[in-house]
Each structure stands twice: as structure tokens, then as C-alpha cells.
């Protein structure tokens, strides 16, 4: 899932520009685009007295109201990552973020706001469309699986195998607080090479691998690997080889910081 992060001062044209972007992109990617907006101090009010509202008021963690044309969901959470994860899990290809200027994604800046990671300032819609590969990827395990299944022909598939590697905190007497992976270009190139090798294994129908970059703390997600294969044995073999190669070429030589 690509993150198109748009920020700027109030009344800088963010919302109007997002509408123009949606009008263009939703034609090309129907049902594959989400928007997350920072409401700030403007609280979203649920309709008083409605059943969905009273269920929410009685502490249901999540409530969904479904009518003939839409679904409205309310969740007892203001955690940005949790909502972003849910968008990726749903199989969206793009999420447009409005606001949240302190989050570290590559950004479009409207107006004169001084913001880090700005890659486009006051762009046209065409500028954004032509720069989609410059925006950050964001994945969950389910998001990787869904994207892979949407990209391949499943007629001959008999197995979808996924692997989620995390940062181990304790290895014997050693404790790891976090791992650091800063060489994004090397990681992307290595992942691409390992994917290509896995695709050449007989019986493998599709492959999608993702490796988190930057600092990942103990317990955090490190890798998402997904393979579609004709038979489970082929998937197991290809997955084991891919994991072993990644470990040998990246994790065993990576920078490990311990307490």
C-alpha cells in the first residue's frame, strides 16, 4: 500500500486538492483508495440516540452501521497506526493522509509549511500521478497476502503460505532492544533478488516479500513474506530458502544493538 501524505497549514487547499486527486485516481483504482483525516480539535459527532451510537456508548470496541449504499464504522481508538493497519488489511492500494504533519512519511506540502520529508510542494494532480513510486510503502502481513492474491491467477493455486518475522528480544543470555536497517536501497535490491529466485522455483505461482526499514524494536514486525504455490510442499521449500538467504545476507551481518 502506498502512502500519499498531504499536509499544510489550515486553509492551504489540502482538502480541495485531495478531492481532485480522488476524482482522478478512483477512476483508475476503483475501491482501492482510502483517506485518513486528522480532525484535530473538531470532534466527529455520532448521531444521538441511534442504535449504532448507543452500542458505541455501551463500550462496544467497534460498531458498524450498514445501509443500502455504505458502511460507517466507529472504533474506540485514536491510534493512527491501528487505523492504517486496518486499511492495509482491507487490501487498499493507496491511503491518502490529510494532516498529521509530524509523521515521518514522504509528503506533499500545500502552502509554505516547513515540513520534513517534503518531496512535492503545491503540485498538480499530474505531478502526483507521475511521482507515485516516490511515496512510501506501508504493509501488514494481511495486506501483503491480499495484494499478492490480487496480482496472480489463482486457478492452479493450492496454497498460500505467509511468514511474519519479528525482532526476537531474548536469545539465550543476550537481549536485543532493537535492530537497525538504514540501507533502504540495498534492502530493496536484495528483496527483489530473493523474490526473483523464489518465482523460478517449479510450482511457485506468485511471490511478494516486504522488509521493514529503519529501527524496529523487540517484538516489532521485521518481514512479511507471502507465496502462492500449486502445492504446499513447493511453498514450504521456496519460503525456507528465501528466509535463509535473507538471514545470511542481511540479518546475520546487520547492526544489532543490545542492552
Task: Provide the mean pLDDT of the chain.
Answer: 94
- Given a contact cutoff of 8 angstroms between Cβ atoms, the answer to whether 192 and 250 are in contact is no
Rounded CA-CA distance 12/109 in Å is: 9
Give the N- to C-terminal CA distance of the chain in Å, as an integer.
Answer: 34
Class for the domain spanning 141-258: alpha beta
User: For every residue of the chain, which 3-state class applies, written as one string?
Assistant: CEEEEEEECCCCCHHHHHHHHHHHHHHHCCCCEEEEECCCCCCCCCCCCCHHHHHHHCCCCEEEEECCCCEEEEECCCCHHHHHHHHHHCCCCEEEEECCCCCCCCEEEECCCCCCCEEEECCCHHHHHCCHHHCEECCCHHHHHHHHHHHCCCCCCCEEEEEEEECCCEECCEEEEEEEECCHHHHHHHHHHHHHHHHCCCCEEEEEEEECCEEEECCCEEEEEEEEECCHHHHHHHHHHHHHHHHHHHHCCCEEEEC
**pLDDT band at 12; cut points 50, 70, 90:** very high
- Of 95-99, 118-122, 174-178, 252-256, the least confident: 252-256
pLDDT > 90: what percent of the chain? 90
Max distance between CA atoms of the chain, in angstroms, equals: 59
Bridge partner list, 216: 179
Q: pTM, whole model, 2 decimals?
A: 0.88
Q: Are 163 and 236 in contact (CB under 8 A)?
A: no
Four-way CATH pick for 2-46+75-137: 3.40.50.300, 3.30.565.10, 1.10.3130.10, 3.20.20.70: 3.40.50.300
Poorest-confidence range of 204-218, 228-242, 243-257?
243-257
Q: With cut-offs at 50, 70 and 90, classify the pLDDT of residue 252.
A: confident
Break the chain into its structural domains and give their ranges. Answer: 2-46+75-137, 141-258
Predicted local distance difference test score (pLDDT) of residue 67: 96
Q: Which residues contact 119 (CB under 8 A, 6 or more apart)?
A: 106, 107, 108, 131, 134, 135
**Cα(249)–Cα(103) distance, integer angstroms:** 31
Banded model confidence at residue 253, pLDDT cuts 50, 70, 90: low
Q: Are 34 and 94 in contact (CB under 8 A)?
A: yes
> Mind listing the pLDDT tens digit for each residue in 156-171?
999 999 999 999 999 9
CB proximity list for 167: less than 8 A, separation 6 or greater: 176, 178, 179, 216, 217, 218, 219, 220, 222
Check whether 29 has a pLDDT greater than 70: yes
The pLDDT assigned to 222 comes to 95
- Kindly report, residue by residue over 53-99, the tens digit of the pLDDT: 999 999 999 999 999 999 999 999 999 999 999 999 999 999 999 99
Q: How far apart are CA 130 and CA 53, in angstroms?
A: 42
Q: Give the pLDDT mean for 16-28.
A: 97
Q: Is the pLDDT of residue 257 over 50?
A: no
Residue 254 has what pLDDT?
Answer: 53
And the C-alpha cell for 243? 528466509
Grid coordinates 443500502 are at which residue?
A: 68
Amino acid at each position: 500500500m502506498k502512502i500519499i501524505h498531504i499536509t499544510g497549514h489550515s486553509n492551504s487547499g489540502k482538502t480541495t486538492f485531495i478531492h481532485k486527486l480522488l476524482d482522478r485516481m478512483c477512476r483508475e483504482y476503483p475501491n482501492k483508495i482510502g483517506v485518513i483525516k486528522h480532525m484535530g480539535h473538531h470532534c466527529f459527532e455520532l448521531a444521538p440516540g441511534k442504535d449504532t451510537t448507543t452500542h458505541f456508548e455501551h463500550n462496544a470496541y467497534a460498531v458498524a452501521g450498514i445501509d443500502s449504499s455504505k458502511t460507517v464504522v466507529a472504533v474506540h481508538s485514536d491510534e493512527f497506526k491501528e487505523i492504517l493497519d486496518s486499511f492495509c488489511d482491507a487490501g487498499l492500494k493507496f491511503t491518502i493522509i490529510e494532516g498529521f504533519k509530524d509523521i515521518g512519511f514522504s509528503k506533499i506540502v500545500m502552502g509554505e509549511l516547513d515540513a520534513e520529508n517534503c518531496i512535492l510542494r503545491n503540485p498538480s494532480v499530474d505531478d502526483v500521478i507521475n511521482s507515485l513510486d516516490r511515496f512510501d510503502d506501508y504493509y501488514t502481513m494481511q495486506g501483503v497476502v491480499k495484494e499478492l492474491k490480487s496480482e496472480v491467477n489463482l486457478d492452479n493455486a493450492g496454497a498460500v503460505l505467509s511468514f511474519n518475522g519479528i525482532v526476537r528480544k531474548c536469545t539465550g543470555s543476550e537481549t536485543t532492544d532493537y535492530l537497525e536497517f538504514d540501507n533502504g536501497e540495498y534492502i530493496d535490491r536484495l528483496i527483489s533478488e530473493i523474490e526473483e529466485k523464489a518465482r523460478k522455483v517449479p510450482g511457485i505461482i506468485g511471490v511478494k516479500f516486504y522488509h521493514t526499514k529503519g529501527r524496529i524494536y523487540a517484538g516489532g514486525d521485521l518481514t512479511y513474506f507471502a507465496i502462492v504455490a500449486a502445492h504446499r510442499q513447493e511453498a514450504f521449500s521456496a519460503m525456507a530458502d528465501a528466509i535463509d538467504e535473507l538471514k545470511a545476507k542481511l540479518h546475520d551481518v546487520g547492526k544489532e544493538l543490545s542492552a
